[in-house]
Amino acid sequence: MNASWDLLKLLADSTRLRLLALLQHEELSVAELQEILGMAQSRISSQLALLRQADLVIDRREGKKAYYSLRNGLPHEHAALVRAACDAVSEEIAEDRINLGRILQKRRAHQEQYFNLIAGKLGRNYCPGRSWEAIGHLALRLAPPIDIADLGAGEGLISQLLARHAKAVWCIDNSPRMIEVGTELARKNGLSNLTYKLGDIEKVPLPDGSVDLAILSQALHHAIHPQSAVQEAFRILRKGGQILILDLKEHGFEKAHELYADVWLGFRESALHGFLKTAGFDHVEVSTVARESAEPYFETLLAAGFKPGR
């Protein structure tokens, strides 16, 4: 896109403008855009191709699915034109925003339904990347007594162990049933310093600078916006605090979307490194710590970093 005049001509199409208005809020798949706009796939795909050629949107592949989002770093004048055009038709596309909210709610409901279903069984059922080998690597980095936040904790199997030596442990999960099961486990085990709170890892219900260690163990690939989750971990950590992430290495096992409610098919080492550096962490390290011997041969990454200061 070399001229604002060309951009104005591109924005003159109502379908393209509706697509940009949606993608400036959320990364969406073609199927989700179909459901929101009530249009045929061919029409949406052809308009997305034009927007991509103009460097207004980018696509990301997850197996056979393609997800589209507004490109970051647009020239200031082009970004201003896109915002102005979307604002000018805000009333006309109000129904699109309502449908977008419904789609995002369906995403969350799918995950909540899955985790509510397996609450109480998580320790006995297979879960990709959840191995004692990987957990052991995480545990070796702990230095109690400290305050810990286990983000996306599920039943809090790791926290049940950590709480025996830590000062305090907070388990954050968005499944009400997981919170119930975990709280009962903590009560049975006499762990008064282990507290479960209902909340989202992208909006953690803990104060700024309140913990020394933030853990995301096989939770980040369930986040709609992984960078936001890492940013929240940074926020709640005290200066000098550490983040530890155990998660799957990028893989092609697409059934994980349905079997385990995974949003992401793992991450590249460079992606985890980028999440931590963008959030502000120093001394970032990412390495492969476990490889499963059975198909689909999941690999587990351990990422670590420190919040500057002290």
Q: Is the dihedral of CA 264, 201, 31, 255 positive or negative?
A: positive
- pLDDT given at position 122: 59
CB atoms within 10 A of CB 63: 13
Domains of the chain: 4-92 (1.10.10.10), 132-306 (3.40.50.150)
The first and second tokens of residue 262, run together, are 């995974």
Cα 160 from Cα 156, distance rounded (Å): 6
Residue 262: DSSP 8-state = -
Edge-to-edge, what's the strand order for the sheet holding 282-291?
194-198, 168-173, 147-151, 211-217, 237-248, 299-306, 282-291
- pLDDT given at position 251: 96
Q: Quick one: which of 173, 151, 152, 169 has its CA closest to 160?
A: 169
Going residue by residue through the chain (310 aa), what tens digit of pLDDT does each one get?
A: 456 778 888 888 889 999 999 998 899 999 999 999 999 999 999 999 999 988 899 999 888 888 999 988 888 888 888 889 888 888 888 899 899 999 988 888 888 887 787 777 655 566 677 666 677 657 646 657 899 999 999 888 888 888 888 899 999 999 999 999 999 999 999 999 999 999 999 999 999 999 999 999 999 999 999 999 999 999 999 999 999 999 999 999 999 999 999 999 999 999 999 999 999 999 999 999 999 989 999 999 999 999 998 7
Q: Quick one: which of 44, 18, 22 has its CA closest to 101?
A: 22
Quick one: which H or E segment has residue 195?
A: strand 194-198
First to last CA, the chain: 46
Query: pTM of this prediction?
Result: 0.71
